Amino acid sequence: MDERLPAHPVEREVGMEFYASSSDGIDGRIRERDEDFRVREIEDFDTQPVDADPDDYPHLVLRATLRGWDTNDFARRLSDAMGASRERVSWAGTKDKRAVTTQLFSVMKADPDALPEIRDAEIEVVGRAGRSIEFGDLAGNAFEIRVRDADPGGVEAITGELREFGGASIGVPNYFGQQRFGSRRPVTHRVGIAVARGDWRGAVVEYLGNPRDAEPDDTRAARGYVDDTGDWQGALERFPRKLGFERSMLHRLVEDGAQDEEDFRAALEAVPTNLQRLFVNAAQSYLFNRIVSERLDRGLPFDRAVAGDVVCFADADAPEGFTRPDMGRTQRVTEKRVETVNRHGERGRAFVTAPLVGTATELGEGEPGEIERDVLSREGIEPADFDLPGEFGSTGTRRAILVTTDLAIGRDPLTFDFSLPSGSYATVLLREYLKCDPRDLG
C-alpha cells in the first residue's frame, strides 16, 4: 500500500483525505488581484450568423469577458441593461467573482444593436441560436493562474510525481473541490447526507446550526442558539436579515409548529429548488471524494482499471483536440477485459469511474466495489436512499476518478496554464502544489 500525504483538515472534512503527491508544498497565494486568476470557456455550443432569422433563432449569443463579476450578478445587470427579464438570460457555467472570466451568455429576443456598456465587462456578439445556452453547454475551461510569493523550488518534484500518477500527462484525483461544499462553511454535504437518511430534522439543524469561526459574531451566536435550544422563534429573532435562506426555513418552522418530520421537510423546501438539489449533489460529491480517497489509500491505480472497475469511454462529440468522458457509455471491467480496456485508456479513450450514488447506481465489483460499499456502509447510506421527494431525489451517475491536463508552468512570474473538462476544479490541481489551507485557494 502506498504511503499517502494527509490533506489539510478542512479538506478531509469534505472527503478529500490525501494528496497524490508527497513533496512539500510551494506555499504562495492566488487571487490577490482579479487578473491573477483567468478562466476562459472551451466552447461547445453551435450558433448561426447574427443576421439569421430571429424567429427561427430567437436567442442572441454573447461572449463576455468580466473582471470581478459574479456570474449571477452580471446576468441580472445584463438583463436590466437590455430591458429583458432575468429569466431570458442563460449561461453554461458559473464562474468565480475574484477572476477575469470569458464565457458565453444567451439572451432571448434581444437586439444585437443594443449591446449595453457595463462596468468591467467587454461584450461581443457571437451569433444566434435556436435554444438558450444551458448548464453544461461547454466542453471545459482553460485557466491561467498566477501564484504570488511562492517558493518555486519544489515545482519540478511535484510535477514529476503528478506525471507519474497520471500515467503520462499531469494527473490528479478528480475530487470535487472545496467550493462544492462551501469554502467558509462546508455543511451542504452534511445536510444532504441527513436528507438521504430520512432525518429531515437533522438536516435542518445541520444547516441552521454549526457556527464557524469564519462567520460574523452575530451569525455564530444565532447558530449556536439553534444548537443549544431548538427554539425556532427565538432563532428567527436572532438570525441576521442577510441570511435569507435560514430565515425562510425558520419562518416555515414557526408557522408549522415543527411537530414532526414532515414539518422539517417543509422547512427545507422553503429554500430555492437549486439549493435543495445542491444539498443532495453535495452529499453525492462527498461520498465520491471518500471513495476516491479510499482508493488512494489502498494504492489502486487511477490511470488504469482493475477487475471490478466500471469505466466510461471518450465522448466522440467533444471539440477537436479535447478529450472528455461520456458517462452515457460505461462498461464493467472483467478479469478478461482488463488488458483491452487499459489499451483504450493509454490512448485516452477509456476512464476509470466511481459513483455519484443514486437510485440507479450499480456498484463495482472486486476491490473497487468493496471500497464503494465500505464507504456507503460507514455513512449509513444505500443507493435506494436517494428515492426522495421532489428536488431531493436523484438517480445518480458516475464520474472519472482521474483528471489529466497538459500543464505549462511559467517561472517569472510563476504561472500555471492548463485546461480541464467541465465539472473539474482548478483548485484540485493547485492544491497539490501549494498544499495550503483550501480557503486560501478560493
Among candidate residues 368, 351, 380, the one with its CA nearest the CA of residue 291:
368
96 is an active site residue = yes
**Cβ neighbours, 10 Å, residue 229:** 10
Helix (H), strand (E) counts: the chain: 13, 16
Among the options 34, 36, 44, 96, which is catalytic?
A: 96
Q: Which residue has the cell 431548538?
A: 230
Angle at 20 between CA 14 and CA 23, to 5 degrees: 115
- Phi/psi of residue 106, nearest 5 degrees: -120, 140
What angle, 0 to 180 degrees and rounded to 10, lies between the N-to-C axes of helices 188-196 and 200-208? 170
Cα–Cα distance measured from residue 22 to residue 279, given in angstroms and rounded to the nearest whole number = 32
402 and 164 in contact (C-beta within 8 Å)? no
Q: Which helix (H) or strand (E) segment is 420 a member of?
A: strand 414-421
Q: Which grid coordinates belong to 279?
A: 444539498
Q: Which amino acid is it at 83?
A: G
Distance, CA of 186 to chain centre: 13
Cα–Cα distance measured from residue 206 to residue 184, given in angstroms and rounded to the nearest whole number = 15
| β-pair partners for 397 | 356
Cα–Cα distance measured from residue 244 to residue 186, given in angstroms and rounded to the nearest whole number = 18
Give the number of C-alpha atoms closer than 13 A to the C-alpha of residue 273, restricted to the C-beta side: 4
200 and 259 in contact (C-beta within 8 Å)? no
Burial label for 202, CB within 10 Å (0-12, 13-18, 19+), is: middle
Helix runs in 23-146, H state only: 71-81
Strand ranges (DSSP E) for 100-177? 100-108, 121-129, 138-146, 148-150, 170-173
How far are the Cα atoms of 68, 121, 259, 417 from residue 246, in angstroms, in the given order? Answer: 27, 33, 19, 39
The residues annotated with a catalytic role in the active site are 96
